[in-house]
Amino acid sequence: MDRNQLTGFALLAALLIGYFFYNSHEQKQFQEKKRIADSIAIATNKVTRVDSSLVAKSEAAPAATDSAAIARIKSMPPAFNGTAEMVTLENKKVSLQFSSKGAYPVSANIKGYKTYDQKPLYLFNGTENRLNAVLPYDNGRTTAELYYVPVLKTEPNGDKTVDFTADLGGGKSVDVRYTLPADDYMMHCSISLGGMAATSIPLTWQVRGLHTEKDITNERMGAQVYYRNLKGDGDYFTLRAEEKTEHDEGTANWVGFRKQYFSTALVSDDGFSRMDLKFAAKGDSSKADSNTVAQYQAKMELPLRASGGLQTGSFKWFIGPNDYHTLQSYKIGMEDMVPLGYGVMAFVKYINKFALIPFFYFLNSFISNYAIIIMLMTIFIRLILSFFTYKSYLSSAKMRVLKPELDELRAKIGDDQQKFSMEQMKLYKSAGVNPLGGCLPMLFQLPILLSMYYMFPSFIEFRQQHFLWCNDLSTYDSVCNFGFSIPFYGDHISLFTLLMTASSLFLAIYNRNMTPQDPNNPMMKYMPFIFPIILMGVFNKMAAALTFYYTFSNLLSIAQQFIIQKYFIDEKAIHAQLQENKSKPVTPSKWSQRLEEMQKLQAERSKIQPRSNKK
């Protein structure tokens, strides 16, 4: 390279460097002019300032200004002229990020938990999440419009506080304070007004719940709104795709938004009044908002109290997991956000609360493997019901012994089903057989099965717990994904669901061989085989903890029935006992008398019916 070329490259480099510095200087001037123009707009109430660090960039405002406008900007209170900053407040449980514009948390990271994809778990994250109060100032300005000066403080006990102060000028101020205990999910909050008279302020709370689990469809189905009044009454609503609004004139102690395994709730000891709830499960997994589970908004009145020359409203803010013990510890009924039975099945939640959950936590106190806990709970329940199970199998054995006599009755009577039923009841009565004896175990077992149906998919303890091929007991164990959806089944194969179905079919076959069949009711003959096939599609998306429980329960039933039939039931002795019972005087029960009267009445009506037809 000769001297001319070197000189040319040097001049070109000098030009590029000069252009870089000139462009940088021009950009700084442009940003300063834009800041002044935005401030003028705020001062004249024509444009609301939007900080670029929090929301999308807006179009640049005109840069023209004059010395009078600049002077007016400098005289504005600090609350209307500032720069948004992010402030972090965290403890052992959660990490919250606050914006100094608006003084509300914009993100909540729940520590100790990961998303299904093993990423940091955020219950919410973004400027769509806000807490906003309408002030009795300047025709209803809101706290979200103001710029605050944050002050962080750590107490000797480990509690952390961030105090946001906004100076409105003229002796007016807003102070928003958040205190996060060292080891808790419940944050203490307050809003204090200085120089402004009010007994309450309208509060708007917005949340956009984020996708954290394996199946967003199940998350959206599990998204709910809960609230409870100071009187103890409450309600809940399951979110759907269409937007819904609910209004409550009562005074709410707390209102919460529940996702599948995590919740956030506002709590007021003085109560929130005039509450409007607006909510909807949002989005389609194929669209841009596939990370949004639901959007939620609550509008309510926060009461204020006079304290130290200020009007202060206090409340608490829960941000954490739907852990039953944690929610119960607050003693305000927040454990209701763990659904343990509702609607027509509301009665099973009491079985869960007072029996199964205490037993679950007792086992969990010294056993860390949740699959073993499920098995021990199943064995324990089977042992409790073993007496009734034995009675059921004994009743089936008695009816098997009487089957030859029933066959003779059927051959003798023919097709007269009503007469056969009456003679059958007489035979059972004389032999001392209760035809309903086989129903008792099912009647006692059904509430337990329903209780487990609600408890296992709702308990966060099963979340991301591994067992055999399943890496998360709180969701379905997919061993094969189709890439397409089969109607009434799904887009995957759950192995525990297949094992549950197979064991149910085997149990049905085993019971069919051990129980006398009614030839006049063919539907009952095939129903035990049709029902498990139908349930296979229903349970294919259920939590693996639940399908594993049903599978293990079926296996125990098969083993229990085999042992009882093999070692505890002697059909020859039963036959001899039944023949002996026939020779004893029969004392009919009120139930059997009533049943016999109903059969006689039905038989008489059937005789009258043909005559009326002839007429």
The per-residue pLDDT for range 93-116, each reduced to its tens digit, is 999 999 999 999 999 999 999 999
| Contact yes or no for 250/512 (Cβ under 8 A) | no
Report strand pairing: 160-169 vs 86-90: unpaired
Q: Give yes or no for residue 286 having a pLDDT over 60.
A: no
In which band, very low, low, confident or very high, does the pLDDT at 268 lie, cut at 50, 70 and 90? Answer: very high
Structural domain includes residue 185: yes
**What's the chain's average pLDDT?**
79
Task: Tell me whether residue 216 is exposed, middle or buried, using C-beta atoms within 10 angstroms of its C-beta: 0 to 12, 13 to 18, 19 or more.
Answer: buried
Query: Does residue 556 share a domain with residue 522?
Result: yes
Q: Give yes or no for residue 480 having a pLDDT over 50.
A: yes
C-alpha 591/C-alpha 256 separation (Å) is: 50
Contacts of 317 by beta carbon, 8 Å cutoff, 6+ apart = 178, 186, 187, 188, 189, 264, 265, 266, 267
Task: Give the model's pLDDT for residue 63.
Answer: 45
Nearest Cα to 131, choosing from 71, 93, 176? 176
Query: Does residue 251 share a domain with residue 361?
Result: no
Q: Give yes or no for residue 42 having a pLDDT over 50.
A: no
C-alpha 176/C-alpha 178 separation (Å) is: 7
In which band, very low, low, confident or very high, does the pLDDT at 62 lie, cut at 50, 70 and 90? Answer: very low
Among the listed ranges 5-14, 148-157, 356-365, 481-490, which one has the minimum average pLDDT value? 5-14
What is the mean predicted confidence (pLDDT) over 385-400?
77
What is the mean predicted confidence (pLDDT) over 77-92?
88
Structural domain includes residue 218: yes
Tens digits of residue pLDDT in 408-440: 777 777 766 677 777 777 777 776 666 666 666
C-alpha 282/C-alpha 291 separation (Å) is: 9
The residue among 296, 311, 338 that closes a domain is 338
Structural domain includes residue 6: no
Query: Does residue 388 share a domain with residue 328?
Result: no
Nearest Cα to 321, choosing from 332, 313, 312, 329? 329
Q: What is the DSSP string of 113-176?
A: EE-TTSSEEEEEESTT-EEEEB-SSTTT-BGGG-B-EEEEEE-TTS-EEEEEEEEEETTEEEEE
Query: Does residue 363 share a domain with residue 307?
Result: no
Q: What is the DSSP string of 246-302?
A: EEEEEEEEEEEEE-SSEEEEEEEEEEEEEEEEEEEE---TTSTTTTEEEEEEEEEEE
Q: Which residues pair with 34 in a beta bridge?
A: none
Among the listed ranges 252-256, 284-288, 423-427, which one has the minimum average pLDDT value? 284-288
**Tokens 């009491």 appear where?**
350
Share of the chain above pLDDT 70, in %: 74
More confident residue, 603 or 532: 532
Query: Does residue 371 share a domain with residue 330?
Result: no
DSSP state of 591: H
What is the mean predicted confidence (pLDDT) over 333-357?
89
Structural domain includes residue 39: no
C-alpha 429/C-alpha 408 separation (Å) is: 17
Task: Give the model's pLDDT for residue 122.
Answer: 95
Task: Give the model's pLDDT for residue 244.
Answer: 76
Q: Give yes or no for residue 8 having a pLDDT over 50.
A: no
C-alpha 438/C-alpha 294 separation (Å) is: 47
Task: Give the model's pLDDT for residue 73.
Answer: 56
Task: Give the model's pLDDT for residue 66.
Answer: 60
Phi-psi region of 488 (alpha: psi -120 to 50; beta: other; left: phi over 0): left
The residue among 288, 306, 338 that closes a domain is 338
Q: Give yes or no for residue 26 having a pLDDT over 80.
A: no
Q: What is the DSSP string of 172-209?
A: EEEEEEEEE-TT-SEEEEEEEEES---SEEEEEEEEEE
User: Token pair for residue 280?
Assistant: 């909807």
Task: Give the model's pLDDT for residue 550.
Answer: 92
The 3 state secondary structure assigned to 299-337 is EEEEECEEECCEEEEEEEEEEEECCHHHHHHCCCCHHHH
Q: Give yes or no for residue 548 having a pLDDT over 60.
A: yes
C-alpha 484/C-alpha 394 separation (Å) is: 48
Domain harbouring 207, CATH code? 2.70.98.90
Note the helical H segments in 459-521. Answer: 495-514
Query: Does residue 305 share a domain with residue 403?
Result: no
What is the mean predicted confidence (pLDDT) over 165-192?
93
In which band, very low, low, confident or very high, does the pLDDT at 257 lie, cut at 50, 70 and 90? Answer: very high
Structural domain includes residue 413: yes
pTM of the model as a whole:
0.77
C-alpha 554/C-alpha 562 separation (Å) is: 12
Structural domain includes residue 101: yes
More confident residue, 344 or 254: 254
Task: Give the model's pLDDT for residue 211.
Answer: 93
Task: Give the model's pLDDT for residue 52.
Answer: 33
Task: Give the model's pLDDT for residue 258.
Answer: 92
Domain range enclosing 255: 79-338
User: Token pair for residue 561?
Assistant: 């029935």
Q: How many CB atoms lie within 10 A of CB 325?
A: 12
What is the mean predicted confidence (pLDDT) over 328-346?
89
Among the listed ranges 301-310, 337-346, 574-583, which one has the minimum average pLDDT value? 574-583
Structural domain includes residue 500: yes
Task: Give the model's pLDDT for residue 38.
Answer: 44
Task: Give the model's pLDDT for residue 46.
Answer: 34
Query: Does residue 533 share a domain with residue 409?
Result: yes
Query: Does residue 173 share a domain with residue 113?
Result: yes
Helix (H, G, I), strand (E, B) or coil at 553: helix
Task: Give the model's pLDDT for residue 614.
Answer: 47
Task: Give the model's pLDDT for residue 241.
Answer: 67
Query: Does residue 249 share a domain with residue 152?
Result: yes
More confident residue, 587 or 49: 587
Q: How many CB atoms lie within 10 A of CB 161?
A: 15
What is the mean predicted confidence (pLDDT) over 192-207?
92
How many independent structural domains does the chain possess? 2
Query: Does residue 380 share a domain with residue 298?
Result: no
Query: Does residue 394 share a domain with residue 296?
Result: no
Q: Give yes or no for residue 160 having a pLDDT over 80.
A: yes
What is the mean predicted confidence (pLDDT) over 564-569?
79
Structural domain includes residue 269: yes
Q: How far is the CA of 392 from the CAs of 253, 436, 510, in angstroms? A: 49, 9, 15
Query: Does residue 321 share a domain with residue 365?
Result: no
In which band, very low, low, confident or very high, does the pLDDT at 341 lie, cut at 50, 70 and 90? Answer: confident
